[in-house]
Amino acid sequence: MQIVVAPGDGIGKEVIPVAEKILRILHPDWEYIPVLLGYDCFVKTGTALPKESLMALTRADAILFGAVTTPPDPDYSSVILSIRKELDLYANLRPIIGHGFDIMIVRENTEGLYAGIEWQEKDRACSLRVVSEAGTRRIARTALALAKKRKGHVTIGNKANILKSDAYFNRICIGEAEASGIRYSLKYIDALVLDLLQHPDRYDVILTTNIFGDILSDAAGYLVGGLGCLPSANIGERHALFEPVHGSAPDIAGTNTANPVAAIRSAAMLLEHLGDTAGAAKIHDAINQAIHTGCRTHDQGGSYTTSGFGEEIVRWLTKT
């Protein structure tokens, strides 16, 4: 197996080495290939996504990705959005798991307001929201396939009362759900955010568009201790990339205080994707055991450093 490791910027350079170390313990025979990309790479080389790095990504069996800084510069292209498009990583899977609830947010990953069709005029800036039939059908089928393996229900998050493109999204998703025999319900995204936080046990698989899924899953981080605990997967037909939901957090970069749980759980999702469900379960169990015995980073009210937390996970994994 070839695993490309792309730490990126900021705290990505601190949390991804922890996750990589854990992967190496479970699979020392795999090849781990480091690549440079992100804003720091741009500053040093003049390009944020070098051709050789992109080629390595396309050849990988899976990608472990950190976080990248995207400056508010209209001429700077988002690295992660570029990768999602180049590799056609159309499905963003964001699990939210806690006491009494197990939710999978399925977010369309290549269209919507993040389609990258933008322009600036004299007195305004415009972003085109794209919802296509092909893009909607494939993300709906992804969500429905997951629901079939779980509780058999999908909630379709939308704003069809305001946006015609969401009404179009709904029609296609409903058609796919009815054809598959999976139960579904519709919920406006603003009400869904509130109800999800108040009653997470009501939800199983949530299907929604790009920016709504981004906001919804970040808000759901409240249920599990913050963004430092949220992993994610970006899945396409031929490629798969796994990354923590959080950003590069430049305000704490270099302090060894970032929470590596999201990165470590992303590594577990990588293992599960490659068929090692036992290894993934070991990682999740080690995290739960460590936290249960008081191992917490600063954002969780503890005193463990990023590397120190990682050492505790290694200890639980190698405990005989």
Ramachandran category for residue 88: left, alpha or beta (phi over 0 → left; psi -120 to 50 → alpha): left
Q: Going by DSSP bridges, is the β-strand pair 118-120/231-235 parallel, antiparallel, or unpaired?
A: unpaired
Alpha-carbon span 40 to 234, nearest angstrom: 23
> Any residues with CB less than 8 A from the CB of 297 and at least 6 apart, and which?
228, 257, 258, 259, 260, 261, 304, 305, 306, 309
Q: Which residue has the tokens 């988002």?
A: 78
190 labelled catalytic: yes
Q: Which of 9, 40, 90, 159 is catalytic?
A: 159
159 labelled catalytic: yes
Alpha-carbon span 195 to 217, nearest angstrom: 13
Q: Which of 9, 40, 166, 214 is catalytic?
A: 214
13 labelled catalytic: no
Q: Which of 61, 195, 218, 299 is catalytic?
A: 218
The single-letter code of the amino acid at 288 is N
Q: Are 259 and 299 in contact (CB under 8 A)?
A: yes
Q: Which of 151, 190, 222, 285 is catalytic?
A: 190
Q: Which of 9, 13, 40, 114 is catalytic?
A: 114
Backbone angles phi, psi at 113, to 5 degrees: -75, -10
123 labelled catalytic: no
- For the annotated catalytic residues, the residue numbers are 114, 159, 190, 214, 218
